[in-house]
A and B are shown apart, each in its own frame.
Chain A
């Protein structure tokens, strides 16, 4: 916003950001470098900034010890479905809450908002009972159905609602006068304009699904069905101790694609969000 900045201001800003970055970057750095350290070096104190020796074989072991490619695929396709499903569910609901006035809408909105408030631990036991009755234990259904329709999608609905509220209504009014139905207006006019908000919903939903931990552990029990965060806990030695270097190699592999997507998509993502109703 400030177009001309003195060299001094710039240097100060860079300096400030670099200092601020240390607590953000160091753990990541440690995760990546420790993934190629021999296990006995990982807990050496003080931690080594660079590995003393490099054991690249840890990355190979990740795939030998677990069906890691399959688990990668599981996490990937679940996150993709959840993201797509949430985009549909939340844009429909968000649009209706923002645009369509009908009796009970506000009450329903408050009820839906409840979903934002429930920690996963609170409802995990009843959910397990339900999915057990439906024969869906050790399938991916709970990891798909709950995020798309249940509590986690409420945040997305909220974002979509805020976006549509801020969207100028004139175009839609005109379409209504022309006699177009709500769904057509939504699909042909509102939704194409909602790309920025949808991209925000997509990133948040994808991250949430990708990092889901408690639910997979409770619902899934076969290694071939595991998701990545769950798989990370499975690299243990013959005595139940964690094989830290291999676990960290797997953790690095897990973080990598998301970081790359973020790097590639961040400009669009941030600018997209900037134009959404998050500002009102």
Chain B
């Protein structure tokens, strides 16, 4: 036994050395950026951009750490708490307020102004709002992706319902009619409308519906709960009705996948076009979100890059961030991540990188969406608020729910957190 152990130990130690397990990085200036993508295309692009930066900064290395999305914030937080904050990080819109308000991020204004040919004026301002505090820009959005509706025309035709394209042509593309179509497909045993990734948990994705009622979870300044306001109550009643009366939205605990061809409509970000089946597909379409009682609207999801003030090389990191998001590199990034630079927001540029979508679809959904879109709701301490609202909304997702009471209850639970 002892001998075996000895051999194993010796082998192990040898292995450690072989695999470089003991070597710790001793580079003078290494920039480390945490991202939640491990996609080879993304990494190749980022490394390409980093090479360009290193060419002018020979003693700098840039390293991209791919963390799993589900553990992303946990891992970044642990690293910060453990005294090893990354220099740069991707930040998701829902945590934007936490990062922006905490003082964890390094202001970028100086670096952006100093960067040659940056053209800050080209960056459209509304999408920057979430990432700024007072006049300081604390993170730069690199991906701004509108929500839109994918359509399965085959299922709609089989149900004998009106397709969104027909409704748009007739000027009647509104929620009333969209749910009618979904309901007709639901009656055939297929799924009607799927709000992708909502799953009766990630309620913030419902903003893609309730924004049509001009409803919001809280007031613009984030201080007052608005779940019990008439707009929200009416929007939620509409959703509840669509689920439990009209069978237009699959109920809680039912899994139906649009991209497998099992549902008529789905609301998601346009980047999900990559999930459309390549063989044995269906006749699909992409349309803007229907108009609500409050008129037309659009919703965008965002991710930004920020520099941690606690990082060792914050100034250098900000310089790299400016380089990464300059016009030239933004154009490169735009092949995966819709930019907020006005010069890149035209159907031609977008069409080059979104082969699946027509120029018309891109213009209607992307360009207009980004120009007018509101961002998915967020708040300081969002994760906690999100959980409490999730628990409170569970009372809405039952057939005989008292929607108004449930929403009032949500407000009474989160109001203290909003004013905290």
Contact = CB atoms under 8 A, between A and B. Distances in A.
Interface of A: 38-45, 64-66, 70, 73-74, 77, 80-81, 83-85, 87-88, 124-125, 128-129, 132-133, 135-141, 144, 187, 191-192, 194-195, 198, 214, 217-218, 221-225, 230, 233-241
B78 A125 contact: yes
Given A77-B12, A234-B66, A139 B21 contact: yes
Interface string B1-38: 11011001101110110011111110000001010111
Chain B, interface residues (CB within 8 Å), range: 35 or more
B38 A234 contact: yes
B8 A241 contact: no
A84 B5 contact: yes
B9 A135 contact: no
A77 B269 CA distance: 42
A23 to B, nearest CB: 19
Contact of B38 (A43, A218, A225, A236): A236
Interface of B: 1-2, 4-5, 8-9, 11-13, 15-16, 19-25, 32, 34, 36-42, 63, 65-71, 75, 78-79, 81-84, 255-257, 259-262, 269, 271-272, 274-279, 336
Nearest to A191: B1
A43 B263 CA distance: 12
Main secondary structure of the interface of A (DSSP, over half): helix
B70 A70 contact: no
A88 to B, nearest CB: 6
Contact of A236 (B39, B63, B82): B39
Contacts of A87: 1, 5
9 contacts: A41-B260, A43-B257, A77-B15, A81-B15, A84-B8, A141-B22, A225-B20, A233-B68, A237-B274
Contacts of A223: 38, 66
Given A128-B84, A217-B67, 10 more contacts: A40-B260, A44-B260, A45-B260, A64-B40, A132-B83, A141-B21, A218-B75, A234-B38, A236-B37, A239-B271
Interface centre among B5, B63, B261, B262 (most CB of A within 10 A): B5
A128 B78 contact: yes
A125 B21 contact: no
Nearest to B15: A77
A160 B37 CA distance: 44
A58 to B, nearest CB: 15
A232 B40 CA distance: 14
B12 A81 contact: yes
B277 A218 contact: no
Contacts of A195: 1
A226 B1 CA distance: 30
B262 A84 contact: no
Contacts of B37: 236, 238, 240
Contacts of B19: 70, 73-74, 77, 140, 224-225
